[in-house]
Homo-oligomer: A and B are copies of this chain.
Amino acid sequence: MKYFFSKEYENIQSSFIRDVLKIANQKDVISFAGGLPNNKLFPRKEIESIFKEYSLKLPNDLFQYSATNGLPKLIDVLKTQFNLKDEILISNGSQQALDLISSIFLNKDDKILVEEPSYVGAIGLFKSHGAICHTIQLEDDGINLKKLESKLQKNKYKFFYVIPTFQNPSSISYTLSKRKALAKMAIKYNLILVEDDPYRYLNFKNKIQPTIYDFAPNNTIYIGSFSKIFIPSLRVGYIMATSEILGKITVAKQYKDLHTNLFSQYILYKYLSNFDIFKHIKVLNSSYKKKCDFFYKTLKDELNDVLEVEKPKGGMFLWAKLKSNMDTKVLFEKSKKTKVLYIPGSVFFEDKSEKSYLRLNFTNSSKKEIKEGLKRLKKVFS
């Protein structure tokens, strides 16, 4: 039988990244490809203690259908501990937040703005909603605001998708002044900013920047996530926005899956009540800083002739560029055979002439794996 899919899905098969991640778990493969938190740092003991506590008495309302915007006591504790100033809705991770926002704003051929490079899982999603993505190039301290203003004068955009802190894939963070200036420009041009901030707390110095939301709350839809600072498989994130926007998002969430499952919500609620998540985040940052230092030093020692790379101040990725300007996607075939994986930079660009970047994840490998993996990479790139 011949099926007639929607225009957006007609030609979609699988994604390059998904295919890469499928081989990441194969024997002897060293993967710097995924965006995985470190397996050894999950709060296993703490979650076991929560399971023990709940095994004695489960919450009365754990089983029944629940509120679409989220478990009220989880919302309360999140607002208090994370100092959230407006209403929030609990989503299945930040990924669902992006889908909810897309649904309430996007029709086919609507234009949106994205950073160049940017998170491919968001861009793919926006396109699956029929959006046309215009890009603004990232500079060392965030996007070029003059280029943004020039685009805003020429086009009407449904929103601008921004990852302001330790951006994926570039690890770039917007400076304070750029955050303020972007907020000001959003207000001036009636632009909605979708601020996706999963790496905010993964700052090696444990210093937290103000959000763009802080400077333009009526223009910003803020997305928080617990995947990078707690447990990705819980699939819990949140959206903070004005009540008008959050009202529409609540309807969309009800249509899409009624509410986020209560087991994840209760486990996060209990963890935040019984333990200090900010202490846990410090443990992550201390470990990730060491891994990053070691990864960067080894890169410099082994691959300085072939790669340019900046040392990140947080997040999960090293963003490197081949000095030879060779195509890292072409080289990836050799890399696969050598059993070391990275993500070729071109998947993060709309401008397909950008071929020589690569993204390397530093959080999920041991020192031994980093050393061996980079030795293999040297062979690939030399």
Contacts and interface: CB of A to CB of B under 8 A. Distances in A.
A193 B106 CA distance: 28
B251 A235 contact: no
Given A58-B47, A62-B233, A231-B63, A107 B105 contact: no
A75 to B, nearest CB: 16
Contact of A258 (B95, B190, B244): B95
A146 interface: no
Contacts of A99: 255-257
Interface in A51-68: 51-52, 54-58, 62-66, 68
Contacts of A248: 5, 9, 12
A49 B51 CA distance: 10
A264 interface: yes
B9 A254 contact: no
Interface in A263-303: 263-264, 267
Given A18-B68, A42-B63, A263-B233, A51 B58 contact: yes
A234 B235 CA distance: 13
Interface string A84-112: 00000001110110010001111110100
Contacts of A263: 233-234, 261, 263-264, 267
A234 B255 contact: no
Nearest to A37: B64
Contact of A64 (B39, B51, B125): B39
A48 interface: yes
A259 B247 CA distance: 25
B44 A51 contact: no
A190 B2 contact: yes
B52 A9 contact: no
A333 to B, nearest CB: 23
A13 interface: yes
A218 B234 CA distance: 34
A227 B91 CA distance: 19
B258 A93 contact: yes
Given A104-B5, A235-B261, A15 B66 contact: no
Contact of A55 (B6, B52, B106): B52
A33 to B, nearest CB: 12
A49 B259 CA distance: 25
B48 A65 contact: no
A1 interface: yes
B5 A105 contact: yes
Contacts of A96: 256-257
Between A52, A63, A190, the greatest number of chain B beta carbons within 10 A of the residue's beta carbon is seen for A63
A104 B259 CA distance: 22
A170 to B, nearest CB: 21
A288 to B, nearest CB: 16
Contact of A254 (B42, B121, B235): B121
A3 interface: yes
A158 B42 CA distance: 44
B3 A252 contact: no
B55 A256 contact: no
B261 A92 contact: yes
Contact of A1 (B44, B219, B235, B255): B219
5 contacts: A3-B192, A18-B68, A125-B256, A261-B263, A261-B264
Given A52-B55, A95-B255, 17 more contacts: A1-B218, A3-B245, A5-B104, A6-B110, A7-B107, A8-B103, A9-B105, A14-B250, A14-B251, A47-B63, A48-B55, A51-B58, A99-B256, A233-B261, A235-B258, A235-B260, A261-B264
